A and B are shown apart, each in its own frame.
Chain A
Amino acid sequence: MNGTINLTLKVWRQPGPGQKGKFEIYQAKDINIHMSFLEMLDVVNEELILSGKDPIAFDHDCREGICGMCGAVVNGKAHGPKKGTTLCQLHMRHFRDGDTIVIEPFRSKAFPIIRDLVVDRSAFDEIIIAGGYISVNTGSAPDANSIPVPPQNAELAMDAAACIGCGACVAQCPNGSAMLFVASKVSHLALLPQGRPEAAKRVLSMTGRMKELGFGNCGNERECEAVCPKQISISHIARLNREFLKAGLFSRET
């Protein structure tokens, strides 16, 4: 299966934070269908540079779908049309010759635009800073096999821990909620015996910080789950809610 396609791109261009942006139209010609979406943008950028224009700024690093650095809203969907796929792993064989593709940054009050498709997601780091960890100092741990963990719990924890922090969940949520992101960390650690001692404190401080940073609340729209490149289930939000209730009812933490 080989071949090339021609596309029309409508791309959000914005020179800097707080500045006015607009859509620009570019033709992407002779795009090999085995290219990744970002490689297609590379090709368009090379042409822009050769004609003396500023290339489209977009974040990317591993291009293997794991670092969480890339991402844009493609035709209204965060990371584009293919389920369970980051933008860097979306290949052009999923588009048709003559398609028009609208490319926008992840939009959210909590993710200010830096340039074009590049946004500032440091609010995610802030949420982790609030409590997304187990407080253990280096060198004081007991033997790794001293506490057995039921494999089904370890597997569930791993499902949640697979979050790459890309922000697609926030971009797609009508409320701009970071609930799936927060839930994935809360759930991951709550499922493991090592994470239990701080479970109550963690869920309260992380959800509290999420609100302070300007993220909205969860309205059960399930849009986050639908675009999550790691297909993290909203059942983790349910677990977060249980942890939250338990913390409120039984914990002395506030």
Chain B
Amino acid sequence: MSLNPSIPSGPLEAKWTKYCSEIKLVSPANKRKFEIIVVGTGLAGASASAALAELGYNVKTFCIQDSPRRAHSIAAQGGINAAKNYQGDGDSIWRLFYDTIKGGDFRAREANVYRLAELSVKIIDHCVAQGVPFAREYGGLLANRSFGGALVSRTFYARGQTGQQLLLGAYSAMLRQVKAGRVSLFPRREVLDIVLVKGQARGIVARNLVTGELESYAAHAVVLATGGYGNIYFLSTNGMNSNVSASFRAYKRGAFFGNPCFVQIHPTCIPVSGHYQSKLTLMSESLRNDGRVWVPKDPKDKRRPEDIPESDRDYFLERLYPSYGNLVPRDVASRATKAICDQGRGVGPTGYAVYLDLSDAIKRDGKEVIEKKYGNLFEMYERITGVSPYVSPMMIYPAVHYVMGGLWVDYNLMTTIKGLFSLGEANFSDHGANRLGASALMQGLADGYFIIPYTIGGYLASDSFPPVSPSQGEFEDSKKEVSEFIRRLLSVKGRRTVTDFHRSLGSIMWEYAGMERSDEGLRKAKGMVEELREEYWQNLLLTGGEREFNQNLSKALRVADYLEFAGLIIEDALTRRESCGCHFNVAYQTPEHEPLRDDQNCAYVAAWEYGGKERPPILHKEPLVFENVTPGIRSYK
């Protein structure tokens, strides 16, 4: 199978415009004849559903939650980047492009990233027109703030609830199309297979989470916007229901998986407090605009943080990275935090935390100003920990937050399966080996509102589509397979709960495939995951049946996929013989412990092909060609 990224020719700045003007179009009358399935209703899925329906396509939209408004994009706090240069601080499309590709440690495609930067400005226009209540200055114009990895202020925000407001905008736009009769909603459905007919993706099999029935749906194309797989680590900032299953089933049907080992660990999350912990909560990166990260100079200093004088504090990010200081990218901040704690210099009951302190900003700007900017984050922190950040600095520690890896897609956002597209966090495309803050919202909406409506038309206009019915053989076969899988799980009748298995898997992944990796550790993890997977199929304890509302079973299906998918993350991490961005292999580091890239041999996208049952996956490499930027040492010093 050849791996063609289908990047349009011509100069970088003109590629997308040229592509749009040359792409085949579907006539308005014909759009009505096409059915498109969209899976997921986060920013990417909801915006895609809305935009496709506005063009006249018939869209069927699926989500796991009870309402499409609850997808986990809703939890994004800090903001969305756009190269508007409203602050006149020297921003431009080029600069956003460059920051993003550098932030990703030169492991993303130039053409995709440039297009993202180009579309960013239209996103803000559209969202404002939808009524997204972005923060504004006294004169009524839009306000901005800064995020990590950038020296300009280009982040638009709605308090600490930017994801919520953008998602409600996309959700409302989609629901407007429900009223127009062009979107049908299917909530509480979990997609468990992608159905291929004659090599094209022509439908899905989904489990109705209320009745437990398996349902088949046919279409002319399928769009997966199913988010990321960070929950494989058990503890992450992801929603509890976020999972890899739809993407993983697509992989098993022939869609290549891109860079699965690229997992973002966010530096500022509320630390783990006990064994019962079910998930972790992020404290927005925007806090690093005004917050300073520190630990006591003397690890034995047991004074309350507010009693420790300036001279006895080590502001280690400012010390290590004087030019970006507290605003270094996430991977850099996370590793620095881990290193400090590993040296025994961490704070809090476990020693695995550092302070994020806004007291200087409160002194400088007054409590009122800080409250306006971060009030809801401070409240959230206090609700969870019982400590007020106005009085005492927050304690934070890194946690799994986002995955840059995902289904491999070409410039059209199409996977290696014809007619199967992937958007947002579910694809691998724009963030390379590390995503900059406030860029996930930008990518989700660029993919959904502005890219897929064009590219899917190009596909539908240039292929032929024999009629397909959801009761035909391919659908029935897939249903049978899924049903068999479910019954096998239910028949195990062991003694260990799903959550217990999931927790064990998470701790293996966190320990050996987390912030710092080594060949030895990864190989060890591979064996441990294998053993755990074997035990899973012999010792899993489930209650209830197949044909009912059974959350325990839903979870067991997801964990079964995670146990298999973990192997792919580990394999990818072992194969990449360098450190880059979030992927830090101790064998490849500079004397200052920064990741050491190997552009000679490793400037590639890893695209993994499913090798078949119990057979190793096959690695394909898409070479990354840099014609417009020179991959340099990624320095934030």
- Given A138-B50, A145-B141, A149-B140, do A66 and B383 touch, yes or no (CB 8 Å)? no
In the complex, chain B residues whose CB is within 8 Å of the CB of A149: 136, 140
**Distance in Å: Cβ of B140 to nearest Cβ of chain A:** 3
A249 within 8 A of B: no
The answer to whether A68 touches B70 (Cβ under 8 A) is yes
Query: What's the Cα separation between A15 and B133 when bound, in Å?
Result: 42
| Residue in chain B with minimal CB distance to A34 | B273
In the complex, chain B residues whose CB is within 8 Å of the CB of A55: 543, 551-552
In the complex, chain B residues whose CB is within 8 Å of the CB of A62: 70, 72, 74-75, 239-240
In the complex, chain B residues whose CB is within 8 Å of the CB of A140: 129
The answer to whether B449 touches A138 (Cβ under 8 A) is yes
Interface contacts (Cβ under 8 Å), in number, total: 220
Which of these, A85, A121, A161, contacts B168 with CB under 8 Å?
A161
Which of these, A32, A60, A61, A134, contacts B131 with CB under 8 Å?
A134
Query: What's the Cα separation between A189 and B130 when bound, in Å?
Result: 9
Query: What's the Cα separation between A46 and B542 when bound, in Å?
Result: 11
Stretch of A112-120, A169-177, A235-243 with 4 or more beta carbons under 8 angstroms from chain B: A112-120
Stretch of B29-37, B173-181, B297-305, B416-424 with 4 or more beta carbons under 8 angstroms from chain A: B173-181
The answer to whether B131 touches A192 (Cβ under 8 A) is yes
Query: What's the Cα separation between A195 and B172 when bound, in Å?
Result: 13
The answer to whether A151 touches B136 (Cβ under 8 A) is yes
The answer to whether B65 touches A67 (Cβ under 8 A) is yes
A254 within 8 A of B: no
B128 within 8 A of A: yes
| Residue in chain A with minimal CB distance to B126 | A141
| Residue in chain B with minimal CB distance to A1 | B386
Stretch of B108-116, B276-284, B320-328, B527-535 with 4 or more beta carbons under 8 angstroms from chain A: B276-284
Which of these, B67, B129, B281, B551, contacts A124 with CB under 8 Å?
B67
In the complex, chain B residues whose CB is within 8 Å of the CB of A144: 84, 124-125, 127-128, 134, 142
Which of these, B124, B282, B453, B543, contacts A54 with CB under 8 Å?
B543
**Distance in Å: Cβ of B444 to nearest Cβ of chain A:** 14
Determine the interface band of chain A, counting residues with CB < 8 A from chain B: 35 or more
Number of B residues near A (Cβ < 8 Å) is 82
The answer to whether B133 touches A53 (Cβ under 8 A) is no
In the complex, chain B residues whose CB is within 8 Å of the CB of A26: none
- Given A67-B75, A68-B69, do A133 and B133 touch, yes or no (CB 8 Å)? no
CB neighbors of A among B135-180 (8 A): 135-142, 158-159, 161, 164-165, 168, 171-173, 175-176, 178-179
Q: Is the interface of A mostly helix, strand, loop or mixed?
A: loop
In the complex, chain A residues whose CB is within 8 Å of the CB of B460: none
The answer to whether A66 touches B129 (Cβ under 8 A) is no
Which of these, B130, B210, B277, contacts A133 with CB under 8 Å?
B130
The answer to whether B384 touches A91 (Cβ under 8 A) is yes
The answer to whether A67 touches B74 (Cβ under 8 A) is yes
In the complex, chain B residues whose CB is within 8 Å of the CB of A125: 67-69, 175, 185, 187
Query: What's the Cα separation between A53 and B185 when bound, in Å?
Result: 33
Which of these, B179, B273, B495, contacts A129 with CB under 8 Å?
B179
**Distance in Å: Cβ of A42 to nearest Cβ of chain B:** 6
The answer to whether A128 touches B175 (Cβ under 8 A) is yes
Which of these, A16, A34, A120, A138, contacts B548 with CB under 8 Å?
A16
Q: Mark B535-554, 1 if CB is under 8 A from A, else 0.
A: 00000011110001101100
The 7 closest A-B pairs by CB, nearest first: A148-B140, A141-B129, A133-B172, A158-B133, A141-B125, A144-B128, A61-B239
In the complex, 18 of the A-B residue pairs with CB atoms within 8 angstroms, ordered by the A residue number, are: A46-B500, A54-B543, A60-B240, A64-B75, A67-B239, A69-B67, A91-B383, A118-B66, A125-B69, A125-B185, A129-B176, A136-B130, A142-B125, A144-B84, A151-B136, A151-B138, A158-B158, A164-B164
